[in-house]
Amino acid sequence: MKRSSRGTLTTAAAWAGLSFVLGILFTSPVHGQTVRVTGATPIGVETFHQRRLALLDSLKDGAAVLYSSRREEASTGYRADGSFWYLTGNDDPGAILLLLPGDPEDEILLLRPRDIEAERWTGDRPALTESLQTAWGFDRIRRVDYLDWLILRRMKHEHVLHLISSLAAPSDPVPPDLELYGKVSARIPGVEIKNSSRLLERMRVIKSDAEIAAIEKAIAVTHQGITDVLAAVRPGVTEFGLDGIFEESLKRRGAQHMAFEPIVGAGEETTVLHYEKQDQTLAAGQLLLLDVGAEWDHYCADISRTFPVDSAFSPEQAGIYDVVVAAQDAAIAAVKPGATMRDVNEAARAVVRRAGYTDALIHDISHHLGLEVHDGSGDGVSLEPGMVITVEPGLYFRDKAIGVRLEDDVLVTATGNRLLSAAIPRDRAAVEAWLAAARK
Ligand SMILES: [Mn+2]
């Protein structure tokens, strides 16, 4: 569930306090300016470079432009979109990547110009230095003003512009790369726009060990965050109060960002899939549904759990809860190489159908997980080792004010799957014990 927008943690605190963000300090000899550079992650500049080389190889010709076009949110600060970060490890606002397969300068990072006066308000931005190129793993970093000239020069000899960003829906705004390509093709005869978005999506859908480790860390922090929330669960507390505890817990543990805006709903709100208001007060006898996730090194966790506000589920709640567990068990068991998302979905539905709750499962139960909460599916056909998907069946009964959703994150392995979130209690008795332990 949930939309894929980023969380709302403030960036302001960030830097100094959080040891996991390894700032690189260096001085520009030209301006005598010291610049802090973000983007240092365990994944490392060489990996980002290898990814670009692999993509350049598959593109073969022409040019590809990729904008770091994630919207900047006041409370979150700037986060590069998934594809841009996957290829660059770079969060510099407004940056652009230009790939020119076969050219001696085949990868160029373009940065927005500096604005000395704006930087008094928002902080220093880097000067273009050799040390910056080394730190960011690029042979060539220029200003975005060069893009026109570089494209024109390239299109004198080449005629293909590759779209490598994720496809936008017809009702979405025209993405900036396609807008640029449209202008180029309106001015240079014979220029062709080619859909190569599948290439990057194929790369992103198979996760490396380092990526899986980041997802696991995000899951572990999410687990701790939920435990901190549980310590406060009782009649009389507000949904937004619990949301605040989760966010604070993440930050305290070094996760600067939430993977998405938490869903915290009690009572009837457990039946609202994307519940956002969070203005209700918890009451005895209700259920509490949490759909939450931390982001760690840009990788997302996505976990849902449902709890009794009291210490135990009522018999009616328990009956429904156990069906969701059984449906989830069946769906997780269906996760293996060669299976499809449809197979996974159907495994859960079969259990729900047998229980007589067919119409209470109102959404599909899986999506890919990675740099985005809803990651691309690659070809979207069958599961392969290295893919990470969610399994999230839910049953929703508005008239009973009972909504139960369980969501876990599953890695497809060569032989089947590994439940990355196995440490987070899931069975009814284990969840009641978790709640009791957290309250002590
Ligand atoms: Mn989900």
Measured in Å, residue 364 CA sits from the centre of ligand 1 at 10
Cα of 317 vs centre of ligand 1, distance in Å, is 22
351 CA distance to ligand 1 middle (Å): 20
Confidence of residue 2 (pLDDT cuts 50, 70, 90): low
The mean pLDDT of the chain is: 89
Position 41 scores a pLDDT of 66
Q: Is 403 helix (H, G, I), strand (E, B) or coil?
A: strand
Radius of gyration of the CA atoms of the chain, in A: 24
Distance 54 CA to ligand 1 centre (A): 30
Dihedral through CA 241, CA 245, CA 247, CA 248, nearest 10? 130
Averaged pLDDT, 23-28:
33
Inside any domain, residue 6: no
Using the mean position of ligand 1's atoms as its centre, give its distance from the Cα of residue 264 in Å: 14
Ligand 1 midpoint to CA 302 (Å): 5
d(CA 383, CA 183): 38
Distance in Å, CA 435 to ligand 1 centroid: 22
CA of 358 to the centre of ligand 1 (A): 20
Q: Are residues 218 and 282 in the same domain?
A: yes
In terms of domains, do 184 and 307 share one?
no
Predicted local confidence at residue 93, as pLDDT = 87
Is residue 191 located within the same domain as residue 239?
A: no
> Is residue 148 located within the same domain as residue 27?
yes
Q: Report the alpha-carbon distance of residue 216 to residue 205 in Å, rounded.
A: 16
Average pLDDT over residues 152-175: 95
Residue 83 belongs to domain spanning: 14-204
Q: Measure 8 CA to ligand 1 centroid, in angstroms.
A: 18
Same-domain check for residues 301 and 158: no
Per-residue pLDDT tens over the stretch 337-364 = 999 999 999 999 999 999 999 999 999 9
Asked whether residue 351 is domain-assigned, the answer is: yes
Question: What pLDDT does residue 273 have?
Answer: 85
Is the domain of 64 the same as that of 211?
Answer: no
Tell me, yes or no, whether 3 lies in a domain: no
Q: pLDDT tens-digit profile of 178-226?
A: 999 999 999 999 999 999 999 999 999 999 999 999 999 999 999 999 9
Instruction: Yes or no: say if 23 and 277 are a contact pair by the CB < 8 Å rule.
Output: no
Together in a domain, 348 and 269: yes
47 and 156 both lie in a single domain: yes
Task: Establish if 7 belongs to a structural domain.
Answer: no
Q: Are residues 63 and 186 in the same domain?
A: yes
Total domains in the chain come to 2
Give domain status of residue 63, yes or no.
Answer: yes
Q: Identify the CA nearest to 192 among candidates 63, 66, 54, 56.
A: 63
User: Are 61 and 151 within one domain?
Assistant: yes
Do residues 154 and 229 both lie within one domain?
Answer: no
pLDDT band at 275 (very low <50, low <70, confident <90, very high): confident
Give the pLDDT band of residue 290 (cuts 50, 70, 90).
very high
Does the pLDDT at position 33 exceed 80?
no
pLDDT at 1: 55
Which residues have CB under 8 Å from 281's CB, separation 6+? 236, 237, 238, 239, 266
Residue 169: C-alpha distances to residues 172, 174, 301, 386 (Å): 5, 9, 25, 27
- The rounded percent of the chain whose pLDDT value lies above 70 is 89
Cα(62) to centroid of ligand 1, in Å? 37
Whether 431 and 318 share a structural domain: yes
pLDDT digits (tens, 9 = 90+) for 67-114: 997 666 555 567 788 999 999 999 888 999 999 999 999 999 999 999
Domain-embedded: residue 9: no
Q: Which of 186, 204, 222 delimits the end of a domain?
A: 204
- Where is the domain boundary, 174, 204, 234? 204
Instruction: For residue 4, report the distance from its CA to the centre of ligand 1, in Å.
Output: 9
Distance 193 CA to ligand 1 centre (A): 33
CA 184 / ligand 1 centre spacing (Å): 39
**Cα-to-centroid distance, 406 and ligand 1 (Å):** 10
**pLDDT, mean of residues 300-321:** 98
Report pLDDT for 392: 98
